[in-house]
Chain A
Amino acid sequence: MRNILTIMRREFKAYFVSPVAYVILASVLFILGLFFYGMVEAYSRYSLQLAGNPMYAGQINLHDFVIRGFYSTFGFIMLFVAPIVSMRVLAEEKRQGTAEMLLTSPVTTSQLVVGKYLGALSFGLFLILITLQYPLFLLFMGARPELPALLAAYVGSVLLLGALLAVGLFSSSLTSSQIVAAVIAFVLSLFLWVIGFLGEIVGQGSEYSDLLKALSINEHFEEFLKGVVDTGAVVFFLTFIAFMLFMTQRVVDSSRWR
C-alpha cells in the first residue's frame, strides 16, 4: 500500500512540473468554457422565448439542455485528452531507464501498475474537480440544476475518464515512445467509443447490436447523463478498468520473461 501511494504521489506531482499539465488544463477549460457559454446562452434565450407559451414552458429544463450536453461534450473531449494524460506513465519510464530501477526495487508489478494508474487518475480527478466551477456558476446565478442528476453525471464522468486512462495506461505499457502510446490509446478508445454506433447500424434488436452496444463506453456513459446510475454501467466500467490494469500488469511483467 505504501509503495502504491509513493508511486502515485510521484506520478501526480510529475504532471505539474512539466508544461503538459498546464497545456491540457488550459485547453480543456477553454473549450469547455466556450461550450458552457454557448449552452447557457441558448438555454436562457429559449426560456425567454418560451416563457410566454405555457405549452412548451414545462418541456425545457436545465438538465437536459445544459448539463447533459455539457458533460457529453466533456466526455468527448476526454477521448482526446486521456491518451495525452496517460501516454507518459510507463512509456517514459522505459525510455529514460527508470523502469530498470523500479523493476529492481522491492515493488511488485501490480503495485507499480496500480500506483501509476492512481497517479494518472488523480490528475484526471483534479481536472474533473475544476469542472465543478460550471455547475457552481449555475447555482450562483440562481439556476437550480437537479442535484441528483448532476451527481450522476459526475459519477459517469469519473468512471469514463477512469476507463479511458486505463486504456491509456495499457497503451503506455506497450511502447517506450510517448507518441506511439498516445496513438494506440486514442485508437483503442475511439474504437470502444464508436462500437456503439456500429451497433446502431447493424440493426436495432439484433443480438450483435446489443453486444456491440454493451461493449461501448459511450453507451454506458450516456446512461449516467440521463441521470441514471445504472449498476450495470458501474460494473461495466469497474470491470473494464480492472481488466485493463490486469493486462498492463501482464505486459509489464512480460518484460521479465521475454
Chain B
Amino acid sequence: MIEVDRLSKSFGGRPAVKDVSFHVAKGEILGFLGPNGAGKTTTMRILTCYLPATSGTARVAGFDVFEQSMEVRRRVGYLPENPPLYDEMTVRSYLDFVARIKGVAARQVKARIDAVAVKCGLTEVLPRVVGHLSRGFRQRVGLAQALINDPPVLILDEPTIGLDPAQIVEIRQVIKGLAGDHTVIFSTHILPEVTATCSHVIIINYGQAVVAGPLSELAAGEKGAQKLHLQVARDGSAVSDALATLSGVRSVARDGARPGAYRLTVDASPEQRERVAGLVVQSGWGLLELTPVTPSLEDIYLRLTGGAGAQEEQAA
C-alpha cells in the first residue's frame, strides 16, 4: 500500500531524511518511531504530498506522491502534528468544510460527519466552537478531519499527544479499529503506544531508518540467543564462574546490585534453560527465579537511536 524507496530530503543542504526505505502492506499499522527531529514529520509530509522528496520515490496506493499527487491526496487522511483547525468555526461546520474539499459527495456529507463524530467521540461537541475545545478534543477533531472521507491510507503525526490516559486508550482503540480496512502510519515517541497498537515498527534516527520489521521479530533481538533473568538464594563467587563455563551460555552478568541476581545470554532453546536450572539446583544455590527476558521496545529503541548512555544510566 505504501512503498518508500531510498527517500531523501534535505533542507538547504541539511539532510532531514536520508535513504529511507520501507513498505507497509494493506491493513497494517506501522509505528513510526524516533527521537524528536529524527525526520518522522518530514517523511510523513513527503508521503502526504506536502513536501517533495529531494531524491527517491514514494508510492501510496500505487500512485507516485510527486507525479500523481492528486490521486494520492484523495486516498490519504493526514493528521499533522498540530491539528489543522479553524478556531472560529464550529466543529460541525469545520468537518463540513473539510468533507467538501476532500470530495465527499454533497448528500453524504452529513452522514460522514455523524459517522466520524461517533468514531472519535465528538458527537456532543459538534455544535461547539473549535477554539473553545480542550487539547484532547482538538486532537480528536483533527483525527476526525483525517477520517472524514474514509481514506484507505491514514498518516497520523503523533495522534495521542496532549491527551489524558483515558483518551489515549480511546484513540488507540480507534486506530486499532482502523486496521484491516485502512493502512495506518503513525509516529510517536511514546513506546508503549507502539507495543499496544502496531503490527510493524520502523525506527528512524538522524534521518535514517535504523530498523524496520514486524514487532515480533524486533523483540527477538540477537538471532538464536535469549536473555534470562536468574535469581538465586545463596550467592557466591562460584556462581558466576560455574554459569559461565556451562555450555551454551554466552555471557553472564550481574543484574543490578541485588545479590544473587544475574542476567544471562544463552542459546535460545528450552533445553538450555533446563540446563541452567539444573546447574543451579544441583549446586544448591537455591533457585528462586528463572525468567526469559524479552527486550522491551525501549531497550531496542535506546540501543538503536544511540541512547546507549541513557540506557546504562537507567540500568545503574
A residues sitting closer than 8 Å to B (CB atoms) are 2-3, 6-7, 10, 13-14, 17-18, 96-108, 256-257
Contact = CB atoms under 8 A, between A and B. Distances in A.
A101 B74 contact: no
B33 interface: no
A252 B59 CA distance: 24
B102 A98 contact: no
A7 B88 CA distance: 15
Interface string B71-100: 001101010101111111100010001101
A217 B52 CA distance: 38
Nearest to B88: A17
12 contacts: A14-B86, A14-B89, A97-B84, A98-B85, A100-B50, A101-B78, A102-B101, A104-B78, A106-B101, A106-B102, A256-B50, A256-B51
Contacts of B246: none
A235 B177 CA distance: 57
Interface of A is mostly: helix
Interface of B is mostly: loop
Nearest to B76: A104
A17 B80 contact: no
A96 B88 contact: no
B84 A257 contact: no
B80 A96 contact: no
A105 B85 CA distance: 14
B48 interface: yes
A256 B52 contact: yes
A101 B84 contact: yes
B70 interface: yes
B97 to A, nearest CB: 5
A2 B51 contact: no
Nearest to B11: A258
Interface string B43-79: 0010011111000000000000000001001101010
Contacts of A14: 86, 88-89
Nearest to A7: B101
B145 interface: yes
Contact of B97 (A2, A6, A100): A6
6 closest Cβ contacts across the A-B interface?
A: A101-B84, A98-B84, A6-B100, A17-B88, A97-B82, A104-B48
A18 B76 CA distance: 32
Contacts of B80: 97, 100-101
Contacts of A96: 82, 84-87
Contact of A108 (B70, B83, B89): B70
A171 to B, nearest CB: 21
Given A3-B101, A100-B80, 7 more contacts: A6-B97, A6-B100, A14-B89, A17-B88, A100-B78, A101-B80, A106-B103
Contact of B88 (A3, A18, A97, A257): A18
A179 to B, nearest CB: 18
Interface string B136-166: 0000000001000000000000000000000
Contact of A101 (B49, B100, B145): B145
A59 to B, nearest CB: 53
